[in-house]
Amino acid sequence: MTTAAESLPFVRIYTDGACRGNPGPGGWACILRHPASGKEVELSGGEPETTNNRMELQAVIGGLRHLTRKTKVEVITDSTYVAQGCNSWMAGWKRNGWQRKEGRKLKPVLNVEYWKKLDELLSKHDVKFTVVKGHSGHAENERCDVLAVAAAEAQR
C-alpha cells in the first residue's frame, strides 16, 4: 500500500542568497529540479537594500512559491541559519508569538516577515533541509551563487 507522502511528486530545490555589503543590494536564486522528469527551472531576484540572511530566506520562499501542488521537497542550502530556523527554532518562535529568547527576555524575531511567509509555505509541503558547504564546488550551489550575485549586482 502506498502512503500519501509516497504518492507526492518529489522536487529538489537548491538555494543561495548574496549581498553586496550587509546590508546592501542583495540577490537570491534557486534551482527547482524534478528528478522523475528531468525538468529544471532557475529562478532569481533581488532587493536594493537587504541582508544576506533575508536573501537566503527569500531563495527558499521563491522556490516553494513556484510549486503549484503539495510536494515532497528536499531544500539544499548552504545556510545553516535557514535550515536551523526551520528545523529547530521556528516552533518556539511561534509558541512565543514570533519572539525569541535572549537571556531571560523575549525579543522580536529578526526577519519575521520572511519567516512567517516561509512558515506558511512549509505548511503546504513535506519539506526536509540538507545543508551543504558553500563555495565548495557543489555544482548547483555554485550555479545558485552565480545567479544570486548577478541579481544583487543588478540592484546597484
Active site (annotated) includes residue 142 = no
Active site (annotated) includes residue 56 = yes
Candidate list 26, 27, 56, 85, residue with the active-site label: 56
Can you tell me the distance from the alpha carbon of 108 to that of 58, in angstroms, rounded to the nearest whole number?
19
Candidate list 21, 92, 135, 153, residue with the active-site label: 135
Sign of dihedral through CA atoms 115, 120, 33, 75?
positive
Candidate list 45, 47, 62, 78, residue with the active-site label: 78
Active site (annotated) includes residue 78 = yes
Q: Which residue has the cell 543588478?
A: 154
Candidate list 17, 27, 46, 62, residue with the active-site label: 17
Active site (annotated) includes residue 126 = no
Q: Which residues are catalytic?
A: 16-17, 56, 78, 135, 145
